[in-house]
Amino acid sequence: MTTTLERRDAPDLSGAFPTVAYKVREWAQRNPTAVAMREKDFGVWQEISWEEFWDRVLTAAHGLLALGVDVGDVVSIHSEDRPEWVILDMATVAVRGITTGMYPTNPSPEVQYMVNDSGAAVHLAEDQEQVDKVLDPGPDAFPDVKKILYVEPRGIRSYDDPRLLYWNDFLELGRRHREQNSGAVEERMAAATGDDVMTLVYTSGTTGPPKGAMLTNANAEFCMEKIINAKGRTEDDRLPSPSDQVLTYLPLCHVAERIFSTWTMCSNGVILNFAESIETVQTNLREVQPTLFFAVPRIWEKIHATILIKLEDATFFKRLVSGFGLKMASIIGKDRAANGGDFTWRSRLAYWVANPIFFRALKERIGLRHCRWAGSGAAPIAPEVLEFFMGLGIPVYELYGMTENSAVATLNFAHRVKLGTVGEPYPGIGLRIDEETGEIQTKHPGNFKGYWNKPEATAETFTDDGWLKTGDVGVWVEGTHVKIVDRIKHIIITSGGKNISPSEIENSLKTSPYVKEAMVIGDRRKYLTALIGIEYDTVGNWALREGIPYTTYRDLSEKPEVIELIQKVVDQTNEKFARVEQIKKFRLLPKELDHEDGELTATQKLKRKAMEDMFHDLVESMY
Amino acid sequence: MRGRPNLFTDYESEMALFPTTTKRVAVALLLIFALLVPLGAIPGLSFLQESSWLVLINRALVFAIAALGLNLLTGVAGQVSLGHSFFMAVGAYTAVLLGGAPGKTVWGLELPIWIWLPAAGIAAAIIGIIVAPTAVRVRGLYLAFVTLGLVFIGLHLWRNFGKVAGGPTTGRPWPPLEFALWKGDPIISFANDGPWFGVQLTSDAKTYFFLLVAVILFTLVAKNLMRTRIGRAWAAIRDRDIAAEIMGVNEVRGKTQAFAISSFYAGIAGALFAVILGRLIPETWDLLLAVEFIAIILIGGAGTIAGTLLGTFFVVLIPRIVEDITFFFADQVANQGPLAWLGDLFIRKSPDDILGFVSTGAAGPGLSIFQLNVALFGVLIIVFLIAEPLGLYGIWIRVRNYWKGWPFTY
């Protein structure tokens, strides 16, 4: 035990690298009683202050020291979003360890791969389900794991694996260690450097096994400076502050959620509100009414579809008003889209008329009434969907980035929005589009350190002159904005030799409330076809109204009426595209796609290769 | 939280009586309205100040207290009781025994109000506790019959216990509504005309203020009972008593509490009812009175406080309104006013009038106004039970939900 340590409650850390943990500590000193996060428990949003939050982080950090976590050791977290996730994440960073997160939906083999690939010494499994994923493959399946922490004890109490440690016992361990070695964590924090890897973010792995992208403290710092504190991000150009509310609901292992919830919290002190689960997001949104909101296109499409279906189902007078409101929204949306996202006098007038009778209540219902900045990213979105939300007066902006460059690439700044593009590069960063391949490349302090234990893969990701290859094809629009064409490897070259970007067509299909998934096929083929998955809820609802009886998803998608319905959607999409880009035939998927069945990645992206194999017969029947 | 009405950070704010500013303002406005009624200060409604209306409103306020009690027992705890008039009678006769003037044929101790009013409630509550165990043995319709029996036992008692109830046809006078420390001159009297703080008030207006305060108090108590442990236990027993017991709710205790508290309300209301009327005969406490309370909570909305209050005013004031309307049309018909054609449809003018079925004369041909009212209530109860089981409150809920869901329907 070190005896030379200064035994003070708050050791001086000035001069240390401002890691995320360091920032939490600063907030706790500056605003100890202010609310840091809320978690809904027993029907009430329980508040955790900055002081309590830091206290728990410090205790957990001591717990990690007590478990022997050394500098550069990996701690893996397999849990839904909850305060413990963030606490363990911050504690790990505080002791200069590396956090890696996993999607709650990751099946056992994927967990095994990621945990072993990262060599995690401590693994947090939220509940019995996640603990089983670690214990079921046998005692030797996870050779590096020394302790398995669990938060929900239900069902685990009778387990006798010696590696299991209940979260509260873990904190107790930390408390004892803290009493005896106060200042030990601060010592580690003081030694932190910008080059320390703070987190491994595993790529979703649409092709091949996932790779762990190493992000350093300096990467995170750069990301916070460029994205979170970007000047001109919101309409009123106010930076995020403790008066802002954020709903944490997307998996925290994804870099986007990390940036827009925990990192925004650390750098600007916004309040995190943890959604109970993905099923309750709609309710939680309505309760929390976040001021800053980030969602992936799938969520925006879902909200869009829900609004349209629910309005259609409303009673006569309400339908009358909403019909008028939607007309106004489309006028406003078009005006704003053509005007850099700003209102014109015409759209302001329309907004002024429709807001009190329609928009206000509608936004309250979907939980975005107080929203002052909303973002869409992580996948391409159809401009129609963004235009719809702009029409409702929700300031939604598309942005672009990827894990490997700490998500720092482009953003649609307020007043300079161009729909259909992902915006302008952040000021002062290096971003170029390769003239030969059209690939977007970046070079800035946000570029990652490399893939964990994969030097060859890392080398392949960088050009010879040190630019990061994003793998996305883009074009400049008017010299300022970037438009993404598609992933390089997704581009379809028809047998006629025409280059086609499938995602644009797919997103256009997905703007229909009836379409959930769409995959355009046509590589080395004569014409384009598509596999389409219907949205069970909305098509089911439609069938109910039309009086079409059905039993299951499969039954519903085989109904000739439903095929006819989707045919209309396809026809509408075809009108927007050139002849070669039109879908000649399509088939409806007989099942809902699922992560566990290997059709989707954890982030709900299509695994195209796997899909083509799995639905081979369906695809061949169209040619 | 401000701007986020659905974000509750603790149970206190979630269970708050007046969680939103809108609600607070609405309640404040309602209170101001209530205070202005007897002063005749409300434009368009100054006629409410008239004695005939104030007496009726006072009666509604007293009934509201009794109805709140029955609502707790039947609406919240689910124990059907047809014996409410019996518990009211217990309260009334306790009051007169303690507070009434002794006479040659009757007993009376002439104690002040602060003794006889609480005692009226407590005596009824004790009887309620004695009756409660039967509710554990019998349920539903059978319990209704047991409590119905109470009414007839009571009627028999009151008729034969002249020392307490007075003569079977004459009754006896009740003490006036006045506050004294002990026997002697009252400190505050609600029973005579005179100025209060420089404002000339009639005895009816003073009584109104007294009753208004009482109703507010009893409403708050009832509301608080409903949102605390006792009320939740009652609701659990109502929804399924066996399931409630398995969850750890003590059924015997819950039902006893419900009977005790409900009877307390009834006792207080019975005493006040007798006091504001001044003199009552035993027949007042009959089955019809008990049914009237059932009607109040069914029409208002069983299990809700606001519904009970709404229902009380509806049931008590509707006969008067029907009467006024009937007389208005009778007048139109008689003087050939602009609405005479409408009156022709139902006012009976002569014995050979085919359409008319309502007659303004008490013993005239066709239905009298009293009969019309009774018939109307029968129809209303049937309609409400079938079309709107949650009563007037249910209608309000539907209106509210329509706007709450805007612009969606679900």
Contact yes or no for A44 and B3 at CB 8 A: no
Of A288, A313, A370, the CB nearest to B409: A313
Q: Could you tell me which of B211, B224, B241 has the C-alpha nearest to residue B34?
A: B211
pLDDT higher than threshold 80 for residue A2: no
The DSSP code sequence of A488-500 is GGG-EE-TT--EE
Contact yes or no for A325 and B407 at CB 8 A: yes
Buried b (16+ CB within 10 A) or exposed e, A38-77: bbbeeebbebbbbbbbbbbbbbbbbbbbbbebeeebbbbb
How many residues are recorded in chain B?
Answer: 410
pLDDT higher than threshold 90 for residue A357: yes
- Is residue A383 within a helix (H) or strand (E), and if so which, with residue range? helix A383-391
- The mean pLDDT value for A480-493 works out to 92
Q: Which residues of B touch A (CB under 8 A)?
A: 3-4, 6-11, 14, 405-410
Interface A-B, measured as beta-carbon pairs within 8 A, has a size of: 52
pLDDT of residue A405: 94
Identify the residue among B403, B408, B409, B410 best suited for mutation to test binding to A, counting A beta carbons within 10 A and taking the highest: B408
- Measured between its terminal Cα atoms, the distance across chain A in Å is 73
Contact yes or no for B409 and A318 at CB 8 A: yes
Chain A residues with beta carbon closer than 8 angstroms to that of B14 = 43-44
Of A38, A245, A289, the CB nearest to B9: A38
pLDDT higher than threshold 60 for residue A4: no
Contact yes or no for B409 and A314 at CB 8 A: yes
Chain B residues with beta carbon closer than 8 angstroms to that of A318 = 406-409
Chain B residues with beta carbon closer than 8 angstroms to that of A313 = 408-410
Q: What single-letter DSSP state applies at residue A419?
A: T
Q: What is the three-class DSSP state of A37?
A: strand
Buried b (16+ CB within 10 A) or exposed e, B272-282: bbbbbbeebbb
Chain A residues with beta carbon closer than 8 angstroms to that of B410 = 310, 313
* Strands ordered across the beta sheet of A583-588: A515-521, A528-534, A583-588
pLDDT higher than threshold 50 for residue A7: no
CB B77 within 8 A of CB B283: no
Domain boundaries along the sequence of chain A: 20-192+235-271, 491-620
pLDDT higher than threshold 60 for residue A260: yes
CB A382 within 8 A of CB A508: yes
Contact yes or no for A314 and B7 at CB 8 A: no
- The mean pLDDT value for B10-32 works out to 88
* Angle between helical axes of B203-226 and B251-277 (0-180°, round to 10): 170
Contact yes or no for A318 and B408 at CB 8 A: yes
Instruction: Give the helix, strand, coil percentages of chain B, each rounded to 5.
Output: 65, 5, 30
Q: Give the class (CATH, top level) of A20-192+235-271.
A: alpha beta
Of B407, B409, B410, the CB nearest to A321: B407
β-pairing, A528-534 vs A583-588, is: parallel
Contact yes or no for A313 and B3 at CB 8 A: no
CB A161 within 8 A of CB A148: yes
Instruction: Report angle CA A166, A168, A169 to the nearest 5 degrees.
Output: 65
pLDDT of residue A9: 56
Sequence letter at residue A123:
H
Q: In whole angstroms, what is the distance from residue B70 CA to residue B64 CA?
A: 10
Distance from CA of B407 to the nearest CA of A (A): 6
Contact yes or no for A310 and B3 at CB 8 A: no
Contact yes or no for A44 and B406 at CB 8 A: no
pLDDT of residue B409: 86
Instruction: Report which of residues B19 and A24 the model is more confident about.
Output: A24
pLDDT higher than threshold 70 for residue A416: yes
Chain A residues with beta carbon closer than 8 angstroms to that of B409 = 310, 313-315, 318
Mean pLDDT lowest for which of A10-14, A130-134, A259-263, A289-293? A10-14
| Residue of chain A whose Cα is closest to the Cα of B7 | A287
Backbone φ, ψ for residue A241 (5° rounding) = -145, 175
pLDDT higher than threshold 50 for residue A223: yes
Contact yes or no for B11 and A313 at CB 8 A: no
| Residue of chain B whose Cα is closest to the Cα of A47 | B9
Of A44, A362, A365, the CB nearest to B10: A44
Of B4, B11, B408, the CB nearest to A288: B4
Contact yes or no for A288 and B10 at CB 8 A: no
Identify the residue among B11, B399, B406 best suited for mutation to test binding to A, counting A beta carbons within 10 A and taking the highest: B406
pLDDT of residue A253: 93
- State chain A's mean pLDDT as an integer: 93
pLDDT of residue A482: 96
- The mean pLDDT value for B83-110 works out to 93
Cis peptide upstream of residue B38 (ω within 30 degrees of 0): no
pLDDT of residue B193: 87
Q: Which residues of A touch B (CB under 8 A)?
A: 38, 43-47, 245, 286-289, 310-311, 313-315, 318, 321-322, 325, 358, 361-362, 365, 370
- Do A20-192+235-271 and A491-620 agree at the fold level? no
* Angle between helical axes of A345-354 and A316-338 (0-180°, round to 10): 160
Of A287, A315, A318, the CB nearest to B4: A287
β-pairing, A147-150 vs A164-166, is: parallel
Chain B residues with beta carbon closer than 8 angstroms to that of A358 = 407
Of B14, B405, B409, the CB nearest to A44: B14
CB A399 within 8 A of CB A376: yes
CATH number of A491-620: 3.30.300.30
Nearby residues of A477 by Cβ (< 8 Å), 6 or more positions away: A418, A420, A421, A483
Q: Which tokens is A581 given? A: 């880009």
Q: What single-letter DSSP state applies at residue A599?
A: S
Of A287, A311, A315, the CB nearest to B6: A287
Of A245, A287, A362, the CB nearest to B407: A362
pTM of the model: 0.86
Strands (E), B74-210: 172-173, 178-179, 188-189, 194-196, 199-201
Distance from CA of B232 to the nearest CA of A (A): 17
Contact yes or no for B9 and A286 at CB 8 A: no
Nearby residues of A210 by Cβ (< 8 Å), 6 or more positions away: A110, A113, A114, A202, A203, A204
- pLDDT tens-digit map of A561-603: 999 999 999 999 999 999 999 999 999 999 999 888 888 888 8
Contact yes or no for B407 and A318 at CB 8 A: yes
pLDDT of residue B354: 67
Contact yes or no for B407 and A47 at CB 8 A: no
Distance from CA of A50 to the nearest CA of B (A): 16
Distance from CA of A309 to the nearest CA of B (A): 10
Distance from CA of A218 to the nearest CA of B (A): 36
pLDDT of residue A5: 38
Half-sphere exposure of A21 (CA within 13 A, CB side): 36
pLDDT higher than threshold 90 for residue A354: yes
pLDDT band at B344 (very low <50, low <70, confident <90, very high): confident
- The mean pLDDT value for A84-96 works out to 97
pLDDT of residue B60: 97
pLDDT higher than threshold 50 for residue A133: yes
Distance from CA of A348 to the nearest CA of B (A): 21
Distance from CA of B396 to the nearest CA of A (A): 18
A588 forms beta bridges with A532
- Whole-angstrom CA distances from A512 to A14, A311, A352, A532 are 54, 15, 28, 12
The 3-state secondary structure of A263-308, one letter per residue: HHHHHHCCEEEECCCHHHHHHHHHHHCCCEEEECHHHHHHHHHHHH
Q: Could you tell me which of B64, B15, B80, B77 has the C-alpha nearest to residue B303?
A: B77
- pLDDT tens-digit map of B356-379: 777 776 555 677 878 888 888 888
Report residue B314 CA to chain centroid gap. 10
- The mean pLDDT value for A357-363 works out to 95
ipTM: 0.79
Instruction: Report angle CA A551, A557, A563 to the nearest 5 degrees.
Output: 135
